[in-house]
Amino acid sequence: MITKDSGENVGYSIVDLGDVKHVFASSAPKTYGNLRSQVRDALKTIATVVKEAGAIGSIVRQAVFIKDARLIDDCRKIIAEFYGNELPATIYIPQPPCGGSLVSIEAMGIAHGNGEVEIDRYSEKLVITRHSGISWIHCGHTTPSTPAHSVYARSISAFEQMERTLADRGIRYDQIIRTWLYIGDIVGPEGETQRYKELNRARTDFYRDFRFATGRTPQGLKQTVYPASTGIGTSNRDLTMSCLALATDRDDLTLVPLENPQQVAAFDYGEHYSPESPKFCRAMAIVAGQCATILVSGTASITESETRFINDVEGQTHQTLDNIEALISESNFQRHGMPGMGATLDDMANVRVYVKRQQDYQKTKAVCQERLGALPIIYSIADVCRDDLLVEIEGMAFSHRCVK
């Protein structure tokens, strides 16, 4: 059991793993004043629930969903002032919150259990937490630095920026286990091709020389490993990225790139979808001792490699949740050589739901509430990478048996 609750504008969950507690909270402002009052309202709600939950935890990572990219600079100042020298790794995502507010915030915190927790805060771009012999490298808001305009050049530049942020602290790019790639007008044209396809071409080129998770995957895994990922639209035109990397000396830690038997692996998609296939896995499980932490990639209503439930947002939401359920299930972990590590939708600790059309929000929400119950959840408006996809869902889950 994970301790979870949610109300109209807030949700939280506490995952007690014994040596450490993870705290997740999502919040939207209760009243619709100006930017400053909305941001502070949402942040205070998060601080309150984290405290009330008995976790004297500290927020280490956050995603700020913002209605208009032009508000990011002001929002950043308000958040910096609020947190002072306790600033979490932060990404600003130009996606309007479905509830109508200017912002909504997803936060992830950590509290010690029986073991020590160390937190090193460098900037909005980088926070490192250490516990149980594992370092989690939380990489925040990353944008291209090049003056070039093409999606390809901007993507390469942003990947390079991320590489540099990590390298500054001695972390290698191939230690990344999860990425978030946000790109405006994702299905829009780029010359003869499409913006998302150009992002995929850049990712393929950039990843060519990296071997992710080397020496850490289950024996017998032959496929090339890629990080779990979300690739989705924004309301501006540019590119924003963030990532999560992991470093450890523990020799009992296994990284399991999960694929869904109901879906063709994205990196094996046919050329029709993208000449250079999307290089990501469906979920990355971090297995340490008795427990798996499962990072579920952006998941959509696709089986085999086909979109299902065209023009039916409820059908798509159900199919997407079915896909996540199958992906994290005990039988899928057995298939990947890791029996006992499975999870169910009840073991999800937080979720983001990207909805393409505002008018589908209530329908999607009803299905999510019915199947996921109370948990911290964010709904935002975004184009998905195929025109016919109406919803995409991601989140984190923990092995059923590990959560006290």
**Interface residues toward ligand 3EB, by CB under 6 A:** 181, 229-231, 266, 278, 280, 297-298, 300, 302, 385
In whole angstroms, the minimum distance from the beta carbon of 225 to ligand 3EB comes to 14
What's the burial of 270, exposed, middle or buried (CB within 10 Å: 0-12/13-18/19+)? exposed
**Based on CB atoms, which residue is closest to ligand 3EB, 202 or 288?**
202
**Based on CB atoms, which residue is closest to ligand 3EB, 20 or 181?**
181
**Based on CB atoms, which residue is closest to ligand 3EB, 129 or 200?**
200
Specify the 3-state DSSP secondary structure of 165: helix
Q: Which long-range contacts (CB under 8 A, 24 or more apart) does 32-41 make?
A: 32/100, 32/101, 32/102, 35/71, 35/74, 35/75, 35/78, 35/102, 35/103, 36/74, 36/78, 38/101, 38/102, 38/103, 39/75, 39/78, 39/79, 39/82, 39/102, 39/103, 39/105, 40/78, 40/82
In whole angstroms, the minimum distance from the beta carbon of 187 to ligand 3EB comes to 11
Which token pair is 397?
């889950």
**Based on CB atoms, which residue is closest to ligand 3EB, 111 or 266?**
266
In whole angstroms, the minimum distance from the beta carbon of 174 to ligand 3EB comes to 17
Cβ atoms of 207 and 160 within 8 Å: the answer is no
**Based on CB atoms, which residue is closest to ligand 3EB, 90 or 229?**
229
Q: Which residues contact 226 (CB under 8 A, 6 or more apart)?
A: 207, 212, 257, 267, 279, 280, 281
- Beta-bridge mates of residue 89: 61
**Based on CB atoms, which residue is closest to ligand 3EB, 83 or 180?**
180
In whole angstroms, the minimum distance from the beta carbon of 241 to ligand 3EB comes to 10
Q: How far is CA 354 from the centre of its chain?
A: 11
How far is it, in rounded angstroms, from Cα 140 to Cα 263? 30
- Residue with the CB atom nearest ligand 3EB in the bound state: 231
Q: Which residues contact 192 (CB under 8 A, 6 or more apart)?
A: none
**Based on CB atoms, which residue is closest to ligand 3EB, 131 or 195?**
195
In whole angstroms, the minimum distance from the beta carbon of 172 to ligand 3EB comes to 20
In whole angstroms, the minimum distance from the beta carbon of 208 to ligand 3EB comes to 16
Cβ atoms of 402 and 324 within 8 Å: the answer is no
**Based on CB atoms, which residue is closest to ligand 3EB, 59 or 389?**
389
Cβ atoms of 307 and 388 within 8 Å: the answer is yes
In whole angstroms, the minimum distance from the beta carbon of 110 to ligand 3EB comes to 26
In whole angstroms, the minimum distance from the beta carbon of 93 to ligand 3EB comes to 14
